[in-house]
A and B are shown apart, each in its own frame.
Chain A
Amino acid sequence: KAGVTQTPRYLIKTRGQQVTLSCSPISGHRSVSWYQQTPGQGLQFLFEYFSETQRNKGNFPGRFSGRQFSNSRSEMNVSTLELGDSALYLCASSLGPLNEQFFGPGTRLTVL
């Protein structure tokens, strides 16, 4: 069974631009969660989608948004990029809210 895939793997953007990251979950998984990982803050929860509905959102500004499609694939968008948005963005999929989450390889975003 194929794992979680994320595209692109690396991105370099400049301040003020926007970016869209994509995540394809493991086949059969309907829950997709997004996390931001930085050396100082660790892994921080962004949001979770299940059956195209955002069920949970972390403490991030409104510049961070996401969506999930009917095939469970998910995208997250960051608008008006700031230097502090440089991080590893991780997507994880699971069967349901209490089940094990499996991570994709991540997208490394660098904001210049």
Chain B
Amino acid sequence: QKEVEQNSGPLSVPEGAIASLNCTYSDRGSQSFFWYRQYSGKSPELIMSIYSNGDKEDGRFTAQLNKASQYVSLLIRDSQPSDSATYLCAVNRHSGAGSYQLTFGKGTKLSVIP
């Protein structure tokens, strides 16, 4: 089982709709969870972080975490063409001797159609 799994997409949604991105992880000891957005040819940009079960909202973005199901998701409301990018899920897991390692999924490509 891969450590962090995402649907590679592409996920196409019409402008103004809600885009739903999902991620599962294998290590139950994972401590912190992040969503990054990466435009083609650019480096990843942090858009959301979540540390405890439940929802966290920031503008049009909502991150949801369910540690029991080992599942984290990102909702983008009122999707805009500028949201078209690859979204990377990242999970910070314990890697031994007090250290942690951020492990990334391969990303979901989102396309917002005008």
| Contact present for A103 and B105 (CB under 8 Å) | no
Name the residue of chain B whose CB is nearest to the CB of A47. B101
Contact with B along A38-62 (1 / 0, CB 8 A): 0000111100100000011010000
| Contact present for B101 and A56 (CB under 8 Å) | yes
C-alpha spacing A44/B74, complex, angstroms: 22
Residues of chain A within 8 A (CB-CB) of B90 are: 101
Main secondary structure, interface of B, reads strand
C-alpha spacing A98/B102, complex, angstroms: 9
Known: A56-B95, A97-B100, A98-B92. A43 touches B31 (CB 8 A): no
Q: Cβ of A106 < 8 Å from any Cβ of B?
A: yes
Which of A56, A88, A101 is in CB contact (< 8 Å) with B99?
Answer: A56
The CB with the most chain A CB atoms within 10 A, among B44, B46, B90, is that of: B44
A to B contact number (C-beta, < 8 Å): 52
Q: Cβ of B57 < 8 Å from any Cβ of A?
A: no
Known: A55-B99, A56-B95, A98-B32. A103 touches B45 (CB 8 A): yes
- CB-CB contacts below 8 Å: B10-65 with A: 31-32, 34, 36, 42-46, 49
Seen from chain A, the residues whose Cβ lies within 8 Å of a Cβ on chain B are 33, 35, 42-45, 48, 55-56, 58, 88, 90, 92, 97-106
12 contacts between A and B (CB under 8 A): A35-B104, A43-B44, A43-B88, A56-B101, A88-B43, A90-B44, A100-B49, A101-B34, A101-B90, A102-B46, A103-B44, A105-B43
